[in-house]
Amino acid sequence: MERDGFLFRLTTDNPNDLWNIMNEAIHKIKDEKLSNQSAGLVVNSVAVQEIMSKPTNQNVLLPKFLELSQLCKSVIGVRLQPNQKSQIVELVKMATQNITLAVGDGANDEPMIRAANVGVGIAGLEGTTAVRAADYAIAKFKFLDRLLFVHGRLHYRRITTLICYIFYKNGLLSLSSFWFGFFNGFSEEEEEEEEEGIDTCLPTLCCVTLAIQKIMYLEWAYQLYNVVFTAVPILLFAVIDKNHIEFHEPLAYARNMGGKRFTWLIFCGWILDSLFESCILTLLPFWCFSSVTSPDNSGQSYGLWSFGVVAYTAIVFCANFRLAFITVKFYIHAFMYMCACVYNIYDMCNIINKFVLLKCVTCKNISMNM
């Protein structure tokens, strides 16, 4: 609040006096066109008790108090009881639909901290009650600005990207089966010859019926996609990625306000990306493998599983290196993990050939030509 600003006081329990003071303050702020930087409000325990005493639908003081509070730069509560602090927080949450943050260092602040969307406890001489009730704990009040403007901003950016990326990378794998469904009759049933390990021929574009009742990937591909091949890079991003922005840069914090990083438009953009990229990563290998020409003197062309391994490798590559483009700070070990996730597919093919006794040329042919 500015030094020459107006300060209004609510220190009585008389409802008529409270109404007159609040009504006069509201008109003064509006008539003189004062900015909210120039007005402040002080309210004590007896005034809050009178304002909150009646139910919401019968309370005429509550709307006035809320309107005056929103017109002021600061509202200071003097000697408020613990339940009154939590009532004010609940009032702001209900009336404004904004995200509330409460900071406290004592046991009397515990209800307020629990009522807020985000609670911050300060470890001090009054014990650790506030810290145990809070979402975040800091040692001193001066660390609050760094918690908000540095750690809070980075955490919000990471977690929103993490959510969108999880849907994106799973969409790549799931939607690839959708695109392939146009060539296999949308069937997910395996035939007995496939269960015996026979690598069936891939359907040509002019003979779609050969793909009926064939699935695109081996079983291990679905199981290891989120566990091995795409797990580590996004976890590293969500923990260590950071962008270097000056601490005293208010625009960096303002860009995160109002949920601007996690909107339906942004989320749908990620989904459309996965839809388009899965189409390219599925149809391009399909057209390349649809030729009946044998790649060697054996006379046998690559089959359905071979096509699936190549498409799967392309999807894992795209999912991992898409993350590299949105990572701000480069870490050599994170890049090495991305490369290792793609290379693990080659190792997995060799392991299946040697230990699973798969009687088909799928992994053998692919591993020899990767």
Same domain, 76 and 99: no
**Residue 204 above 70 pLDDT?**
no
**Residue 208 above 60 pLDDT?**
no
Same domain, 17 and 90: no
Q: What is the pLDDT at residue 308?
A: 82
Which of 118, 139, 160 is the C-terminal boundary of a domain? 139
Q: Above pLDDT 70, what percent of the chain?
A: 78
Residue 291: pLDDT band with limits 50, 70, 90: low
Same domain, 312 and 182: yes
Rounded Cα distance between 132 and 126, Å, is: 13
Residue 357: pLDDT band with limits 50, 70, 90: very low
Same domain, 256 and 284: yes
**Strand ranges of the sheet holding 39-44, from the earlier edge strand across to the other edge:** 6-10, 39-44, 74-78
Q: How many CB atoms lie within 10 A of CB 291?
A: 13
Same domain, 291 and 182: yes
Q: Are 270 and 168 in contact (CB under 8 A)?
A: yes
Q: Are 348 and 220 in contact (CB under 8 A)?
A: yes
Residues 6+ apart with CB under 8 A from 253: 148, 149, 153
Same domain, 203 and 292: yes
Output the six-digit token pair for 109. Answer: 């602040």
**Residue 27 above 60 pLDDT?**
yes
Tell me which range, 197-211, 231-245, 315-329, is most confidently predicted by mean pLDDT: 315-329
Which of 123, 139, 155 is the C-terminal boundary of a domain? 139
Same domain, 282 and 326: yes
Rounded Cα distance between 240 and 181, Å, is: 39
- Encode pLDDT of 250-279 as tens digits: 676 777 777 778 889 999 999 999 999 999
Give the total number of structural domains in the chain.
Answer: 3
Same domain, 319 and 279: yes
- Encode pLDDT of 61-100 as tens digits: 888 899 889 888 889 998 899 999 999 999 888 888 888 9
Please classify residue 59 by burial: count the beta carbons closer than 10 Å to its beta carbon, then call 0-12 exposed, 13-18 middle and 19+ buried.
Answer: middle
Q: CA angle 56-61-64, nearest 5°?
A: 105
Q: Tell which wins on pLDDT, 326 or 36.
A: 326
Domain membership of residue 28 as a residue range: 1-80
Which of 80, 100, 121 is the C-terminal boundary of a domain? 80
Q: Using CA of residue 238, residue 242, residue 243, residue 245, what is the dihedral sign?
A: positive
Residue 356: pLDDT band with limits 50, 70, 90: low
> What is the average pLDDT across 4-8?
78
Same domain, 180 and 90: no
Same domain, 211 and 240: yes
Same domain, 131 and 248: no
Q: Which CATH number is 102's domain given?
A: 3.40.50.1000
Same domain, 223 and 358: yes
Residue 295: pLDDT band with limits 50, 70, 90: low
Query: What is the value of pTM for the model shown?
Result: 0.73
Please classify residue 249 by burial: count the beta carbons closer than 10 Å to its beta carbon, then call 0-12 exposed, 13-18 middle and 19+ buried.
Answer: exposed
Residue 292: pLDDT band with limits 50, 70, 90: low
Q: Are 42 and 11 in contact (CB under 8 A)?
A: yes
